[in-house]
Structure 1
Amino acid sequence: MEEADKILVLLKQGDKHGLELLFRHFYRPLVMHALKFLPRQEEAEDVVQEVFIKFWERKRFDMIDHYLRSYLYQAVRNRCLNILESRAGITMKPVESLLEFSDTETPDDAEWNDRVEEIYREIDRLPDRTREIFTAIVLDDKRYKEVAEELGVSVNTVKTALSRALATLRSNLSEGAYLVVLLLVLGGN
């Protein structure tokens, strides 16, 4: 019997040791998964803790026969997207359709690493000033005004360069990689 199945059995029996095992077995990997969507460690940890609490309090484990791992990864992903949606004031549902994996799957580390490498390759191909502005705003989480002052340009110049960078990345990246860029943009500003 797999570890996840053992945990499910204990949870269904109401054994709090199952909750402890759930935490020990899944907490760290789920935080790493949340960090694929959210920029800050504390925020990712809060999401995972919230998912665990709801999972226990609402006895969600009673609805699951197998696939505990998939359920938890999906719950964390959904919670992260809800946070990003509320920050941006938009609905993420159309963006979700860009994901290249089904609801029961999550990208493995190799797939994730491929997307990240693809993103950095395309960022490196951007013109110098555009790359500098994109990196400052999206990756370094700086504000438009701050970047404009550092570079001695107007805020409109910064916005235009960012728009050009996003348009270039959209046309050159795979859909899954571009989704990651969108999540970074929405998560930062």
Structure 2
Amino acid sequence: MDIIVLKELQNQNKSAYKNVFNHFYKALVLYANNFLFDQQASEDVVQEVFILLWENAKNIEINVSLKAYLYAMVRNKSLNYLKSLKITDDLNVIELNSMLVLEEDLDLISEEEKTILYNHILKIIETFPKGMQQIFKLKFIENYKYYEIAHQMGISVNTVKTQLKRAKVKISESLVILIALLSIHS
């Protein structure tokens, strides 16, 4: 199916392009918003991606699914946008957020393996101390900002950042082992 759609896009079939746009637009805006936390900027980034898709359709080579390609473009455009604003992600919280909220970053593994990883992440979070669990959930489920979490919990912003960094380290260490095990069985 992707091959047919890609051929139509390369031939600049407006109907196929419109269908791809309508099918992916809302989800891509939500995805961009996980990086940018700004609805207008997210919409702008996704529109830029579709403009690039249209302008460069004849030269585009997609080695993964069209969906994975579009999500990768949106992720890269979003990160470039943040860089242009001089926003740094020293804790890699943005990347962690995108991995936890959306599975498109894991497009090279099977659906079964994604389910295993997702369930494993949930189990890891359950092992966190209560305070860390609450901070993690406020940040990644409720999309609170650092200062909002600090205010709600009566702690400093630095404590919030430290707890999120520790949570990320725990998740990363566990996932490295699990991904290695999954790749052995593949």
- TMscore range, shorter length: 0.5 to 0.7
Query: 1:125 maps to what in 2?
Result: 127
Query: 1:147 maps to what in 2?
Result: 149
How many pairs does the alignment contain?
A: 160
Query: 1:77 maps to what in 2?
Result: 72
Task: Give 1:136 deviation, angstroms.
Answer: 1.6
Unaligned runs of 5+ in 1: 178-189
1:133/1:158 contact within 8 Å kept: yes
Q: What secondary structure is seen at the aligned counterpart in 2 of 1:140?
A: coil
Query: 1:113 maps to what in 2?
Result: 115
Give me the whole-angstrom Cα distance separating, in 2, the residues matched to 1:78 and 1:11.
16
Report the RMSD for the aligned CA atoms in angstroms: 4.0
* 1:39-63 alpha-carbon deviations (Å, 9 max, x no partner): 269576655443232221x2x3323
1:7/1:18 contact within 8 Å kept: yes
Task: Give 1:167 deviation, angstroms.
Answer: 2.5
2:28/2:74 contact within 8 Å kept: no
From the superposition, tell whether residues 124 and 82 of structure 1 become closer, same or farther in structure 2 (CA, over 3 Å): same
- Which stretch of the first structure deviates more once superposed, 111-120 or 3-12? 3-12
Identity %: 25
From the superposition, tell whether residues 109 and 151 of structure 1 become closer, same or farther in structure 2 (CA, over 3 Å): same
Task: Give 1:5 deviation, angstroms.
Answer: 3.8
1:12/1:61 contact within 8 Å kept: yes
Task: Give 1:162 deviation, angstroms.
Answer: 2.4
Give me the whole-angstrom Cα distance separating, in 2, the residues matched to 1:80 and 1:125.
30
* 1:101-136 alpha-carbon deviations (Å, 9 max, x no partner): xx9x64454443333222111111101111112222
- Written as runs of structure 1 = structure 2, the 5 A alignment for 1:28-39 is 28=24, 32=27, 35=30, 38-39=33-34
From the superposition, tell whether residues 131 and 54 of structure 1 become closer, same or farther in structure 2 (CA, over 3 Å): same
Unaligned runs of 5+ in 2: 100-104, 180-186
TM-score, scaled to structure 1: 0.59
Give me the whole-angstrom Cα distance separating, in 2, the residues matched to 1:174 and 1:84.
23
Give me the whole-angstrom Cα distance separating, in 2, the residues matched to 1:147 and 1:44.
23
Give me the whole-angstrom Cα distance separating, in 2, the residues matched to 1:38 and 1:83.
9
Task: Give 1:163 deviation, angstroms.
Answer: 2.8
Q: What secondary structure is seen at the aligned counterpart in 2 of 1:173?
A: helix
Query: 1:184 maps to what in 2?
Result: none
Q: What secondary structure is seen at the aligned counterpart in 1 of 2:65?
A: helix
